[in-house]
Each structure stands twice: as structure tokens, then as C-alpha cells.
Structure 1
Amino acid sequence: MHWHKYVHSVIMKGKLHLFLLPLNVYYQVFASDDLNITQTPEQLQLEEGQTGVITCSWDISNPVEKIRVEWKRRNSTSPTENEHKNILASILWSTKNKSELTYNNCNNCSYNLTRDEAVLQIHSVNPSDVGIYICEVNFEIPTLQKGHGNGTQLHVGKYEPNKHPNQTKLFAAIAVVGLLAVVILLGYFLCKRSKKAEKDLLEERIQEGVELNRVNSNMNHADEDNSSSSNSERWAVSTMYESYPFDYFAMKTSEHQDNTEACSAPNLPES
């Protein structure tokens, strides 16, 4: 138990590379190989610049306080190379500190470790990343248990734009459909807007017509009142003129008769 604490203190000081091999021996001797690890995918075919994701998961039946995961890469051309060179990273998970990266030998890799899953992401892959990636899982506290995945073979090829003509056609078809949908929606909204403008214009014209009819009606009433007043005046004048000649001539005839009688010579007596 003192050896385990000593190794852990050295790991925390960043000197893991001096004790990786003894630590592996320690796990092989004292830990029981009874963890069932599921690693996916089995094959990973990528092009240069893409990102690869490898996942290892396991089931936990008993409480665990500390879990250590090591990611290793074996060169398919040299499977027997030094075990230390194969180690990419060592991550420690605990109930207190959660996840902690204690060793990293991969500049374009990122890691995530939880209670029942470990994830490795390889960013901007290149031909030097080709190999078999394996996760090794060790339960440290309260009991020692270990297990490892079956490995993921990573293949990296050069990026070729015309390598996937079907995908290009699919993307072109999706772009055409999307553009057509945008045109249809735009036409629908423009048509709806045009109809609304026509409706507003029609309502405005109707309102103007109603207002014009009201003005014309008022003007007609005013004309009728003026016409009635004028007709009354004309009737009065006409009545006056119609009665005026008869009265005038009657008066003149009476005067004439009076004057005649006054101016006639007196009757002389007969001699």
C-alpha cells in the first residue's frame, strides 16, 4: 500500500514516465483482470485534417473511488516496440477531483473520463497518427480491477475533394432543394404582402368614395335649397308683374274718363 502511495505522489509531480512500467507490473500482479471493456469503433477511416473519436465504456456494479485510464497506441508496423513509447496519456478519475490528466504524450489529442466512460479525440489527424489505439482501465480504490479494450485501427488517407462524388451530388441536391424552398417561401411572402397592399388600397379607395359621396350629397342639398329660394323669388316677381298691368290699365282708364268728362263743353240752352 505504501508503494501505491509513493507511485501516486510521483505521478502528481509529473514524473510518470519513470514509473510507468513498474506501475503496469503492479497492476498485472495485484489487479484482477475481470473488467469487461467495450471499445468502439473497431475501424476508423479518416482523411487528413479530420477528427477521430474513440470510446471505451464499462459497467460498475460496486462503488469505486478512483479509476485510472491509459490510452496506448501501437504501430501496426512495429507491434513489439517499447511499451513506454506506446502510452499516449494517463487520466485519473476520483470522486473528489473528478478527472485529471496526469500524463500526456499526444499534442493533438484530448481526453474525457467519467465514472463509466473514457473518450479519446484525435484532432487534425495526419499519417503519423496511424496505428491501433487501446484503452486500459484500472480500478484502484477500493479494490484493484483491470481490463482493456479490443483496440481501434486508425487509417488516415489524403484528402481528395473528388473522392466522394455521391456525397457531392447529395450536397448539391440538398442545396438545390434548400434554394427552391427559400424561393417558394419568398414568393409566398411577397404574394401575401402584395395582396395585403391591394386590399389596403381598395379599402382606401372605398373610403375616399364614401367621403366623396358625402360631399356631393351635401352640395346637392345646398343646391336644392338655393333653387327653392330662387324659385320663390321668381314666383313673387312673376305674380307682381302679372297683376301689375291690369291694375295699371284700370287706373288709367278711370283717369281718362274723369278727364274727358271734366274737359267736355257745357250744354248750351237752345234758343
Structure 2
Amino acid sequence: MRGAELLLILGALQSFVSQRIHVYQIPEVTVSEDTTVTLQCNYTLSNMENATLGWATWYKHTLRGPKVSNIDGEFIGRVSQAAQNDFTERRSAGIQLHRAQLSDSGIYICQVSFSLKNDVSGHGNGTFLIVTGSIENNASYNFLIMLVIVGAVSLVLLVSLAAYLRCTNNGPNTDNITTAEQQLHAIENTDYSMVNMPTTQFCVESPQRKRSPNTQVYCEVAVYYEIQGSR
């Protein structure tokens, strides 16, 4: 009697083990919005002889969470499931999500179930779906970034040019100094009465009315030259 009970227990355990389902999913998928994305799901079932009816159910975020199907909530009209032949022969339970939206980002869990002597089911670890902006939006964003960079570089160049011109305009006027030197040497060569007297002393002590035209120009040029030289 004990032997018969042991055989029954072993048979039940073997039946349980043979009917166990393992479900596999891709960890992560990235797709652009307004495109179609495939969420893959595959399973293994050791004993397919008694598997007369099977199906796949998809959930978003958590197991038993919002269902992902063509007739549920935000996914109405946007979900395509694997054909029955693919499900039973290829053991594929994936779905396609059409016109992906940014709000579709999240974890999607695939659960595979079979109606045997007892209902048996198993689920995967989930696929993390990431929906990014469309290609057109990304191109516009990159173009805007490029315009900002070009504008910043142009502004720096303009500021640098303005600073350079300002420094150049505030510098000494070498042309005026050169002209003053030429006039001063020309006057010194023609008016010998000022040779023995320092320029500053002569121009201060000599009344302007007693100066000749050449002497007057000499004083003005000399004073200008000394002022420029002291800077």
C-alpha cells in the first residue's frame, strides 16, 4: 500500500514538473515614437502532448496590471498578437505595438498559459520599453543646438574685435609725433638764435610778441613733443 502511494506521489510530481512553463523576454527595447516595435516572448513546455489550448497575455508595469491588447484602454487598435501557428509551433508569444507613443514607455510582462489537466502558466521577467522622440524632432533639436553654439562663438568674436579696436584707438598717435619731430628739426636748422637756450626756458621767458613766426611754431611744436614724450 505504501508503494502504491509513493508511485502516485511521484507521478503527480513528474506531471507537475513536465508541465512547467519557462518564459523568456528581451530585457530592453528602444524605439522612436510613431513607429512599430516588436516585444518578443518565447516559452518552453516540456510536455506538449496534452497541451490542447494555450494563450499569451501581456501586462504593463506589473503582473496583473493593465492589459496590453487591441481592445484594452490606451492600446485599442494598436496591438497585433502572434498567429496561433507561431504560438504552438514556434512557441512565440510576442506582440507588435504600432504607433508607439512616449507614454508607452514602461515594463511589459508576458504571461503564457495552457489548459491541461490543470491550468498551467508562467511569465517572463519583463521587457523595458523606451520610446524616444521622433527622428524629425531630434533633427530639429540638434539644429537648434548648432544655432546656439554658432551664435555664442560669433558673440565672443565680436566682443574680442571691439576690445581690440578700442585698445588701438587709445594708443599713442605715432604719426603726429613723427610730424612734430620733423618740424622741430626744420626750425632748429633755420633759427640759430635758440641754439644756446633750452627750449622750455626760451619759450617761457621770451614774450610772444618778440618771437618770429618760426620761433612761435618752434615753441608750440617743442611743447607738444615734450608732452607726448612724457606720457
Fold match by TM threshold 0.5: no
TM-score by length of 1: 0.37
TM-score by length of 2: 0.43
